[in-house]
Amino acid sequence: MKGSVMSVLVVLALVAQDRVACGLEDKSYDYTKYHTMDEISAWMSQMERENPDVASSMIYGRTYENRNITLLKIGFTGATPKKAVWMDCGIHAREWIAPAFCQHFVKEILGSYQTDPKVNMLFKNLDFYITPVLNMDGYIYSWKDNTTRLWRKSRSPGTGNCTCFGTDLNRNFYANWGMVGISRNCCSEIYNGPTPLSETEAQAVTDFLGAHQNQLLCYLTIHSYGQLILVPYGHPNISAPNYNELMEVGLAAANAIKAVHGKSYKVGTSPDVLYANSGSSRDFARLIGIPYSFTFELRDEGDYGFLLPEDQIQPTCEEAYQGAMSIINYIHDKNFRGSAITVTATLWTTLVASWISSANVF
């Protein structure tokens, strides 16, 4: 009797310890709901605390309303600066599914790097720089009440005689600024700002990308809606030198997305599949030499648009994760060829070893 009680207690203790080790307390974060900026900031601190070996935060700029623009840097620490992947979400305030995706992405990689050899290899060779909400001022404003939900731009006040607020951050970058797909009317949703980089948020990204130019292999910027993967450039007459490769990689990502829940994502330059535009962050990244630069426009295709129902957060994030990973793995394998072979060899060795050891039992 005593022995069985003891063994039950031991089992319970082990289970409890296991749950604590996995971070599964009663208040686990709900990735299937939209979160306020405060919740997201708290979550970022939690990710840092729970994964001190691989995650750290960096403040790299300030918003107009003086908030700290923060990213999570994720990967194994290395002696020399590693190659890196950049991801930003929430340049446009009303595209709530985008920050939801950044959080999902972080959760996935932090949850799998210890068990998935491919992700483990990514952590070894790459750093991920992930900004869950870039346009914090706009995002917070879109949470204010029902009338502000569809806000898009930054929250800087208009200059001169302009009585309207905000500049479209994704028209404000130093990339063919002002040439096409913009409005000079400061009340327009695609107002590109009084001058390039007038917005501190765009300046922050520009500074970071510039400082890490030689490390960055990949620039991903997440938006909604439309179900598109966009390659540079936004100007109809300018082609990226690696356009063919970018299209191949983009189409492979769209296939990976479709395999998850059957959703079709169209791939092409913005002037082909969406509309011409200039001053985008994607274009700027490509212009300064980051070879693989993509915009993701997530679900849906116009039924709910920006107001994507919460029950679609999980499937949208799942498919976009496969799309992003398809791109990241391609880039990784291209740059770290030997590693791919090592991973495969390790897998095979492990399999053979376990077969031999199980064979020896008999």
DSSP label at 36? Answer: -
Q: How far is the CB of 306 from other proteins (least distance, A)?
A: 6
Considering the complex, state which of residue 216 and residue 249 has its C-beta at the smaller distance from other proteins: 249
Choosing from 120, 194, 314, 329, the residue that interacts with other proteins (CB under 8 A) is: 194
HSE-CB of 175 using CA atoms within 13 angstroms: 29
User: How far apart are alpha carbons 161 and 243 in whole angstroms?
Assistant: 42
Choosing from 30, 38, 50, 310, the residue that interacts with other proteins (CB under 8 A) is: 310
180 binds other proteins (CB under 8 A): yes
Site string for other proteins, 233-272 (x = CB under 8 A): ---x-------------------------x-x-xxx--xx
Active site residue 297: yes
Choosing from 150, 259, 352, 353, the residue that interacts with other proteins (CB under 8 A) is: 150
Of the candidates 95, 201, 297, 319, the residue annotated as catalytic is: 297
CB 267 within 8 A of CB 251: yes
The set of residues, in sequence order, having a beta carbon less than 8 Å from that of 189 and lying 6+ positions away, is 152, 153, 168, 183
Q: Phi and psi of 83, rounded to 5°?
A: -65, 155
157 binds other proteins (CB under 8 A): yes
307 binds other proteins (CB under 8 A): yes
Max CA distance (Å), the chain:
86
Q: How far is the CB of 49 from other proteins (least distance, A)?
A: 28
309 binds other proteins (CB under 8 A): yes
Tokens of 273: 């599949």
189 binds other proteins (CB under 8 A): yes
Choosing from 217, 247, 274, 287, the residue that interacts with other proteins (CB under 8 A) is: 274
CB 136 within 8 A of CB 153: no
Choosing from 165, 294, 321, 336, the residue that interacts with other proteins (CB under 8 A) is: 165
Give how many residues touch other proteins by CB under 8 A: 62
Other Cβ atoms within 10 Å of 340 Cβ, number: 15
Choosing from 6, 14, 162, 345, the residue that interacts with other proteins (CB under 8 A) is: 162
Helix (H) or strand (E) holding 19: helix 2-21
Choosing from 20, 22, 164, 259, the residue that interacts with other proteins (CB under 8 A) is: 164
Considering the complex, state which of residue 162 and residue 345 has its C-beta at the smaller distance from other proteins: 162
Q: How far is the CB of 164 from other proteins (least distance, A)?
A: 4
Choosing from 7, 45, 77, 185, the residue that interacts with other proteins (CB under 8 A) is: 185
User: How far apart are alpha carbons 312 and 99 in whole angstroms?
Assistant: 14
Q: How far is the CB of 184 from other proteins (least distance, A)?
A: 5
Question: Which range of residues in 8-16, 68-76, 104-112, 309-317 is near other proteins by CB under 8 A?
Answer: 309-317
The string of DSSP codes covering 188-235 is STTB--SSTT-SHHHHHHHHHHHHTTTTEEEEEEEEESS-EEEES-SS
DSSP label at 157? Answer: B
Q: How far is the CB of 131 from other proteins (least distance, A)?
A: 22
CB 300 within 8 A of CB 246: no
User: How far apart are alpha carbons 294 and 296 in whole angstroms?
Assistant: 6
* Amino acid identity, position 81: P
Burial 303-323 (b: 16+ CB within 10 A, else e): eeebebeeebbeebbbbbbbb
Choosing from 151, 208, 294, 321, the residue that interacts with other proteins (CB under 8 A) is: 151
DSSP label at 236? Answer: T
CB 292 within 8 A of CB 217: yes
- Catalytic (active-site) positions: 297
Q: Which residues bind other proteins (CB under 8 A)?
A: 33-34, 143, 146-152, 155, 157, 159-166, 168, 177-190, 194-196, 226, 236, 262, 264, 266-268, 271-276, 301-310, 312
